[in-house]
Chains A and B, each alone.
Chain A
Amino acid sequence: MTLAYLTSSAFASQLINLCAAILLLLGFAMLAQRRVLSLINLFMMQGLVLCTSTLIVAITTHQPHLYWSAGLTFLLKVLALPYILHRLIRRLSVKWDIETLLNIPTTMLIGIFLVIIAFNVAQPISLLSGTITRATIGIALACVLLSFLMMITRSKAVPQVIAFLAMENALFFAATSATYGMPMVVELGIALDVLVGMVILAVFFFQIREQFDSLDIRHMEKVHEE
């Protein structure tokens, strides 16, 4: 294996494919996870993989703004958000098992079907794209759908928020793989949105718990205007 091969785009696209596969694996791991604490750690790993793949795309395609977005991903999704979430679950003391609405094996089977759908839908789209990462669009779409599924099947507020953040990760990955990323302004805007959204949701958690003594969002269906 020579140095020329290591820096060639063929090798880089293989590395990106590997990152995409790991993202999908982490998506399923999050879907199967019962504990909030491990869920946050998985989310952090997802951010790290995302950062790595963005960095690889940046190095191979020499797009300066992708370096920035990789750095932003690292700061926000590997350091800041997991830290906030860790603090949050400590203050709310909700490290215990998550109640799922469907049992885990059924959820996983539905997940497989979603992956098949996503792969089929993405096939024509990826033919239109000319980037070195086009094969991963299907995986990115599958990750988005898996995060959706996780939001649907979880009844507690914290896992739902983590699923929402994971979906944002997957969308970001889709953007990088389809078009080498969005313009810098858009990316900065989204990053800020996620951060602010996280803070607002954290305030919501406390409000929900104060109101209902639980983080189960099913209670919110019973709320009426007085």
Chain B
Amino acid sequence: MNAYAILAQLLELATALVMAPILVGWVNQCRAWMQNRSAPPLLQTYYTLNKLFHKEVLLAHNASSLFHSAPYIIFSCMALAAAIVPTLSTDLIFSPAADAIALVGLFALARVFIALAGMDVGTAFGTLGARREMLIGFLAEPALLMVFFTASLISQSTSLSTIVETLAHKEIAIYPSLAFAGVAFTMVSLAENARVPVDNPTTHLELTMIHEAMILEYSGRHLALIEWAAALKLFAYSCLGIALFFPFGIPEASDPLSLTLAAIILVVKLAIGGFLLALIETLSAKMRIFRAPEFLGTAFLLAVLAMLVHLLLRA
């Protein structure tokens, strides 16, 4: 525990807040290029956020206090989640306090509040979206936990910092179980971030939307906070993927030089990750909502297989 650890933690939080909208912009840009459309600017998400923050908040007559407070809770959950994931350094002040399971809990807390807020006003779409979100959530959560457990079995700890240190700084070894877990994690993050095979983030088509249906009633700064939180969630999941499966280049120390180097590596990795996400989204078609349980069931199965394979091959 030193001043640098606090600095690294603050820097990481700031990086997450600043980079998350850019990451979303980058994914949208890549997607537009691949689909032969003219791309929106990289900072488009910032312009949207800025516009929304300056707009007036319109509320339904029967909106309760839960509806007002939900955006703030969701935003703080996601900001905290993004701060827990080690991106710039593994020497963080949060790392002894919050491990991978706490992270899943944070995501679950945000999900409960967004679903409740969706149901609060009582419109049909909000309820529909909330129910679908909970369906996806209850299937995705165990799979995500299993992915974490696989990484924990390898490193003998559920603390994310220890996992990253074990995977990144030990002698190079190939973990087949991590390959399974990686595929499972990709499927879970597509579902959790409302991406194409499960949900389409750009459409407002009644029958298919999940995430957008829940936030239809929000406007102004509330909507801005929720949009920003969604960007933060995508950022947190991308960083988790990097931390678990491509941790090379995340330093253990947190002196200014290694932090700078880590930041450059992070940007490069995120750019590649965002490009791959856009590629997946372009290549796959959105599936029917009733296929989603099968999709997430497969993710769960792969994650369980990862654990089994690890137990078998360890000998």
Please classify the interface of chain B as helix (H, G, I), strand (E, B), loop, or mixed, using the class held by over half of its residues: helix
Known: A28-B301, A112-B301. A135 touches B172 (CB 8 A): no
Specify which chain A residues have a CB less than 8 angstroms from the CB of B173 in the assembled complex: 14
Q: Judge whether B312 and A108 touch: CB under 8 Å.
A: no
Q: Judge whether B174 and A14 touch: CB under 8 Å.
A: yes
How far is B297's CA from A28's CA once the two chains are assembled, in angstroms?
Answer: 12
Q: Judge whether B304 and A21 touch: CB under 8 Å.
A: no
Q: Judge whether B176 and A105 touch: CB under 8 Å.
A: no
Specify which chain A residues have a CB less than 8 angstroms from the CB of B183 in the assembled complex: 25
Please classify the interface of chain A as helix (H, G, I), strand (E, B), loop, or mixed, using the class held by over half of its residues: helix
How far is B311's CA from A21's CA once the two chains are assembled, in angstroms?
Answer: 12
Known: A112-B301, A115-B308, A119-B312. A21 touches B177 (CB 8 A): yes
Q: Judge whether A15 and B312 touch: CB under 8 Å.
A: no
Does B294 touch A at the CB level, under 8 Å?
A: yes
A-B pairs with beta carbons under 8 A, tally: 58
Q: Judge whether A126 and B298 touch: CB under 8 Å.
A: no
Specify which chain B residues have a CB less than 8 angstroms from the CB of A116 in the assembled complex: 308
Q: Judge whether A112 and B304 touch: CB under 8 Å.
A: yes
Known: A115-B305, A135-B315. A108 touches B298 (CB 8 A): yes
Specify which chain B residues have a CB less than 8 angstroms from the CB of A135 in the assembled complex: 312-313, 315
Cβ < 8 Å to A, chain B residues 165-219: 172-174, 176-177, 179-180, 183
Does A139 touch B at the CB level, under 8 Å?
A: yes
Specify which chain A residues have a CB less than 8 angstroms from the CB of B315 in the assembled complex: 126, 135
Residues of B in contact, count (CB < 8 Å): 22
Q: Judge whether A105 and B179 touch: CB under 8 Å.
A: no
Q: Judge whether B179 and A28 touch: CB under 8 Å.
A: no
Q: How far is the CB of B149 from chain A (nearest CB, A)?
A: 15
How far is B174's CA from A16's CA once the two chains are assembled, in angstroms?
Answer: 10
Known: A18-B176, A126-B315. A24 touches B309 (CB 8 A): yes
Cβ < 8 Å to B, chain A residues 62-89: none
Does A20 touch B at the CB level, under 8 Å?
A: yes
Cβ < 8 Å to B, chain A residues 131-168: 135-136, 138-139
Known: A28-B301, A105-B297. A15 touches B174 (CB 8 A): yes
Q: Judge whether B294 and A105 touch: CB under 8 Å.
A: yes
- Knowing that A112-B304, A138-B312 are A-B contacts, what are 14 other residue pairs whose CB atoms are under 8 Å apart, sorted by A's residue number? A17-B174, A18-B176, A18-B179, A20-B176, A21-B177, A22-B176, A24-B309, A25-B302, A104-B294, A105-B297, A119-B308, A119-B311, A122-B312, A135-B313
- A-B complex: 4 closest residue pairs judged by Cβ atoms: A21-B176, A14-B174, A105-B297, A18-B176
Q: Which residues of A contact B (CB under 8 A)?
A: 1, 14-15, 17-18, 20-22, 24-25, 28, 32, 104-105, 108-109, 111-112, 115-116, 119, 122, 126, 135-136, 138-139
